[in-house]
Structure 1
Amino acid sequence: MDETTDQSLSRADLARLVDCFYERIQVHPELGPIFNAAVDDWPEHKALLTSFWASVVLGEGSFRGNPMAVHRALPDIRAHHFDQWLLLWQQTTGEVLEADAATYMQTLANRIGHHLSRGVGAVRPEFMMQD
């Protein structure tokens, strides 16, 4: 599988994944309150994240945003929330996508999550604390 794109995935596949995943996020006992407080318009947020993943996976270049700044601005987010997010992502990709595509999406999310976690932790010492 190509390191930078996965042509077995379509934008429709990514939209379906994002929709399913964020439906689960909204009701997650720990992640739900953080996301629900930060997201005013779920359909708009899902469209934005579909563009993010389409840009990462398909090379679309349609995403406009700054994920690092957004995550740094969330006062209640902690390092363990990234772990929970990644676990839910792994479960959802495993259920929604074919095995190879799920593994590819999990690898990308792990890389991105690690980068975001380090970036948030660099400017917010409380980030590493458990609530």
Structure 2
Amino acid sequence: MEESAARRAQIVAEITAATGIDDGMIERLVGTFYARVREDAVLGPVFEAHVTDWDVHLAQMRLFWSSVTLMSGRYHGRPMPKHLNLPVDARHFDHWLRLFEATAREVCPPAAADYFLERARRIASHLEYGVATRHGASLAPGERFVNPALPAGQVA
């Protein structure tokens, strides 16, 4: 077990050295991004309808990104069930990614932004697949989910 912990610490040190990602950067990215989400015409209403305590949500997102980027193991939630019944589809995930990328590129140095974005794209793809499956869609490789229950012009 000690060898595993030592290896994890070495990997995290390498990630931090290569990207500069630390808890402070995660806090700035999460805070800036979700401030923008709350003001966003597309994403704001979705989040406002489902997030009842923003302080708790932001704390969870900081733990989530710490676990995703620094393998901290701090996040113990289950994100998929929280997303399955949201009124979203590929257009929302694409919009979320564009906003996240713009924020990461502004808030983080390039290596850190790239690192966050690589993971964000995988997460968005995984969540989109889960939402699609929840709606009975069977996606072929590369196919995207468009929720027929949502108005066509709803998402930019």
Aligned match of 1:51? 63
Aligned counterparts of 2:134 and 2:38: Cα–Cα separation in 1: 27
Aligned counterparts of 2:62 and 2:124: Cα–Cα separation in 1: 16
Letter in 2 for 1:37: A
Instruction: State which of 123, 134, 137 in structure 2 corresponds to 1:112.
Output: 123
Instruction: State which of 9, 19, 22 in structure 2 corresponds to 1:10.
Output: 22
Aligned match of 2:95? 84
TM-score, normalization by structure 2: 0.77
Aligned match of 2:43? 31
% same residue: 38
Aligned match of 1:121? 132
Q: Which has the larger radius of gyration?
A: 2
Moved over 2 A (4+): none
Return the offset for 1:73: 2.5
Aligned counterparts of 1:73 and 1:50: Cα–Cα separation in 2: 23
Return the offset for 1:12: 1.2
Q: How many residues end up aligned between the 2 structures?
A: 127
Aligned counterparts of 1:14 and 1:124: Cα–Cα separation in 2: 33
Return the offset for 1:78: 2.0
Q: Secondary structure at the match of 1:128?
A: coil
Question: Superposition RMSD on alpha carbons, in Å?
Answer: 1.5
In structure 1, the gaps of 5 or more residues are none
Aligned counterparts of 1:47 and 1:73: Cα–Cα separation in 2: 22
Aligned counterparts of 1:91 and 1:125: Cα–Cα separation in 2: 32
